[in-house]
Amino acid sequence: MTFNRRTFLGTSAAAAVLAAPMVKAAGHGKPRVVVVGGGAGGATAARYVAKDSNGEIDVMLIEPTRTYYTCFFSNLYIGGFKDIGDLGHSYGGLAAGGVNVVHDWAIGVDRDAKTVSLAGGHTVPYDKLILSPGIDFVEGAVEGWDLSAQNAMPHAYKAGSQSELLKAQVMAMPEGGTYAMVAPPNPYRCPPGPYERVSMVAHYLKANNPTAKIIVADPKPKFSKMSLFQEGWGNHYEGMVDWIGEEFGGGAVSVDPGAMTVTIDGEETKVDVCNVIPAMKAGRIAELAGVTDGNWAPVNAADMSTKADADIYVLGDASQQGDMPKSGYSANSQAKVCANAVRGALTGSKVFPAKFSNTCWSLIAANDGVKVGATYEATDEKIAKVDGFISETGETSEVRKATYEESEGWYTGITTDMLG
């Protein structure tokens, strides 16, 4: 099949293309894009703007850590299916791909001057600013817990040292000990994440400490893939997991990190590990930039620009966009729509209509993978769900194994797509 043999129908494809205004950099050379946060949203956006503009745009990524540990698959590390090294990725591929990677903290945004100030003392100018800072925790969300308690009661919801700490604590549990999780209220990063973690902790304990117990205090009446997880817990970890939902007081929780106790609906329990995952909000820089409303940054669905400032975009967990779950896959998907729009605005390249998708895979036990996914489109109000699917209960072990293998393929795919 060659091009010549086909009838060219360019206009029908082009009809969907929006007219892109040419907004060259004002009063300086190349247009400048600054990206804050090198996770699934920011790294992807930086890479795609640099890659697709072929050097026409200067791209700077500001990210404090030298090694990026993926939150996705960090539960598999806790379950013993991955090594911590498997989760760590360098930014070298982005640098080689033309992104100026600056390891520093962004501590302020001057929207009038269009500059970002860095903790190291520098101030960097931008034409377009993409913020992808992930999540921070809402202070005082869990009574008795604050940042000073995160060693005694780790959240492990930003991957890396916290993941290692939580795993070490699980491994050190006494025989027949108790692991407690304080689950977060909606909306939060990675909806199936806490329950995949419960599965992975149970997997470890079943093999190494089979009389141990897991208690989950949950402020929600239901959770992502609930029937799949509950089926899996019954099949693999019978009697080990006690999930206390909203109606049984799962939302009335306080902790005492000194005494290692958790009080759920007035009943105090001494525990050996306490994994506190507090309520979340957009990473702090979004608030400092003045683009948040409440805990999150409202954005326009067509290009991820903020409602507050057309030159500032917010991606991923920090954004309030509509129907997409806060996930690495979503952030990666949003980043590509945003990169296309930013490039169009700065260089006049074609801007194509927004299309988004997401799939979340979770591992319940060895070779027992499940998934949920959906496609989304941009409407005037929000990113709206178009179509979706979810794994079914009672699937064959072959299907579940294939789903897990697919998730491993996805991991390689998305990390390559983000970081080059």
Partner 1 sequence: MRRSAILPTLCVLAISVGSALGETADIAAGEKVFQQCSGCHQVGADAQHRIGPHLNGLFGRPAASHAGFRYSKSFERAGTNGLEWHADTLDAFLENPRAMASGTRMSFGGLKDDTARINLIAYLRTFSDDPANIPEADPTALAASHDIDPEILALVGDPDYGQYLSGECTTCHQASGGDDGIPSIVYWPEEDFVVVMHAYKNKQRPHPVMQMIAGRLGDEEIAALAAYFAKIED
Residue ranges of the alpha helices (H) in 246-327?
284-288
Give just the sign of the alpha carbon dihedral 288, 291, 294, 296. negative
β-strand partners of 11 = none
Provide long-range contacts, Cβ within 8 A and 24+ apart, for 143-151.
Answer: 143/253, 143/254, 143/255, 144/254, 144/255, 144/256, 144/257, 145/182, 145/255, 145/257, 145/276, 145/278, 149/255, 149/257, 149/276, 150/276
**Minimum CB distance to partner 1, residue 54 (Å):** 12
By C-beta, is 216 or 370 nearer to partner 1? 370
Exposure letters 342-367 (e unless 16+ CB within 10 A, then b):
bbbbbbebebbebebbbbbbbbbbee
By C-beta, is 186 or 379 nearer to partner 1? 379
By C-beta, is 52 or 146 nearer to partner 1? 52
By C-beta, is 150 or 362 nearer to partner 1? 362
**Minimum CB distance to partner 1, residue 389 (Å):** 4
In which residue are the tokens 């977060």 written?
A: 184
**Minimum CB distance to partner 1, residue 387 (Å):** 5
**Minimum CB distance to partner 1, residue 78 (Å):** 21
Residue ranges of the alpha helices (H) in 293-419?
328-347, 397-419
**Minimum CB distance to partner 1, residue 7 (Å):** 5
**Minimum CB distance to partner 1, residue 8 (Å):** 5
By C-beta, is 11 or 148 nearer to partner 1? 11
> In Å, what is the CA distance from 179 to each residue of 65, 250, 255, 304?
30, 15, 13, 39
Binding site for partner 1 (CB under 8 A): 1, 3, 5-10, 12-14, 17, 48, 52, 329, 332-333, 336-337, 340, 350, 352, 355, 357, 359, 371, 373-375, 386-389, 398-399, 402, 405-410, 412-414, 416-417
By C-beta, is 103 or 401 nearer to partner 1? 401
User: CA 11, CA 34: separation in Å to the nearest integer?
Assistant: 34
Give just the sign of the alpha carbon dihedral 337, 340, 346, 349. negative
Q: Phi and psi dihedrals of 303, rounded to 5?
A: -145, 0
**Minimum CB distance to partner 1, residue 356 (Å):** 8
**Minimum CB distance to partner 1, residue 416 (Å):** 5
Q: Is-cis flag, bond preceding 154, omega within 30?
A: no
Q: What is the DSSP letter of 8?
A: P
By C-beta, is 202 or 374 nearer to partner 1? 374
Those residues with Cβ within 8 angstroms of residue 96's Cβ, 6 or more apart along the chain or in another chain: 420
By C-beta, is 332 or 362 nearer to partner 1? 332
By C-beta, is 66 or 355 nearer to partner 1? 355
**Minimum CB distance to partner 1, residue 384 (Å):** 13
Amino acid at 258: G
By C-beta, is 88 or 373 nearer to partner 1? 373
Q: What is the DSSP letter of 349?
A: -
**Minimum CB distance to partner 1, residue 335 (Å):** 8
